[in-house]
Homo-oligomer: A and B are copies of this chain.
């Protein structure tokens, strides 16, 4: 039975949103809806326009018989600025101050609506499709990695400080934890990352960057390459950072027990022009 245009548009929207960065062929949609390819083509033109106008993202359409459409999540400068501003303001509440100059943020990073935006914002930086896998270290980076991975539609892997029986054989590296200046160990299951992977490293919080540096050396052990480093928040530093070329959504300052969260380098890095 032929499907009406309105029904097709609704189902195509869902279908494409659930499969970012994946080319869905005209042929597939034509069969799914028992409709002519020319009608599907027109549907995609409407979807493309609406996605663009509403800031949902980019619908890339590939012309021709072998063509189709690919949904690329993205975010407008205005929406990104608004989100960063809102996060900075929420995190600047004085009650979030913790001993040692840390800021409590687990409540925000357990909210699906916030994680969705964090994932979407970070994924927007890597919309060229170069990332094969997202890597993070347990525990608090995981929700961010998962959300970013879902917008890039690639798997994510979890590096652990303890080596678990349920991970099988692992590869481990030692690294210098920046905050405590101690030698620590991190491990990743051998079978979790293919050699030659292009890896995006993400974490919730980075101070001097020792943990991220540990992940960089772990990626090398898997004959893979780090193609990006993105953190939700970086701690304001007086000394040197051991990591370069990273992107942060927020900068957390806690001088004199006062919490002061401001925009990180994301906005200026992504929206320069």
Give chain B residues whose Cβ lies under 8 Å from the Cβ of A154: 112
Point out the residue from B11, B104, B112, B147 that lies within 8 Å of A153, measured CB to CB: B112
Q: Tell me the bound Cα distance from A158 to B115 in angstroms.
A: 15
Q: Which of A161-169, A215-223, A236-244, A262-270 lies at the interface with chain B?
A: A161-169
A15's nearest neighbour on chain B, judged by CB, is B54
Point out the residue from B11, B47, B146 that lies within 8 Å of A50, measured CB to CB: B11
A116-B6 contact, Cβ under 8 Å, with A106-B192, A110-B157, A155-B110: no
Shortest beta-carbon distance, A26 to chain B, in Å?
A: 18
A191 interface contact, C-beta 8 A: yes
Give chain B residues whose Cβ lies under 8 Å from the Cβ of A146: 112, 115, 142-143, 146-147
A4's nearest neighbour on chain B, judged by CB, is B46
Does B111 contact A155, Cβ atoms closer than 8 Å? yes
Does A18 contact B98, Cβ atoms closer than 8 Å? no
Contact with B along A19-41 (1 / 0, CB 8 A): 10000000000000000000000
A150 interface contact, C-beta 8 A: yes
Does B54 contact A11, Cβ atoms closer than 8 Å? yes
Shortest beta-carbon distance, A70 to chain B, in Å?
A: 16
Apart from A102-B166, A107-B191, A110-B155, what are 9 other A-B pairs with CB-CB below 8 Å? Answer: A6-B9, A7-B46, A7-B53, A19-B113, A98-B168, A112-B154, A140-B158, A142-B142, A143-B146
A108's nearest neighbour on chain B, judged by CB, is B155
Contact with B along A130-157 (1 / 0, CB 8 A): 0000000011101100110110011111
19 pairs of residues in contact across A and B, judged by CB atoms under 8 Å: A6-B6, A9-B10, A10-B10, A10-B47, A11-B56, A13-B13, A18-B116, A100-B165, A104-B166, A106-B167, A110-B155, A111-B155, A112-B146, A112-B149, A138-B138, A139-B160, A140-B158, A143-B146, A146-B147
Q: Tell me the bound Cα distance from A19 to B49 in angstroms.
A: 22
Shortest beta-carbon distance, A202 to chain B, in Å?
A: 13
Does A110 contact B166, Cβ atoms closer than 8 Å? no
Give chain B residues whose Cβ lies under 8 Å from the Cβ of A49: 7
Point out the residue from B10, B102, B112, B166 that lies within 8 Å of A13, measured CB to CB: B10
Give chain B residues whose Cβ lies under 8 Å from the Cβ of A158: 106, 110, 139-140
A99 interface contact, C-beta 8 A: yes
Q: Tell me the bound Cα distance from A138 to B110 in angstroms.
A: 13
A17 interface contact, C-beta 8 A: yes
A56's nearest neighbour on chain B, judged by CB, is B14
Closest 7 CB pairs of A and B: A112-B150, A13-B13, A10-B50, A138-B139, A7-B50, A110-B155, A142-B142
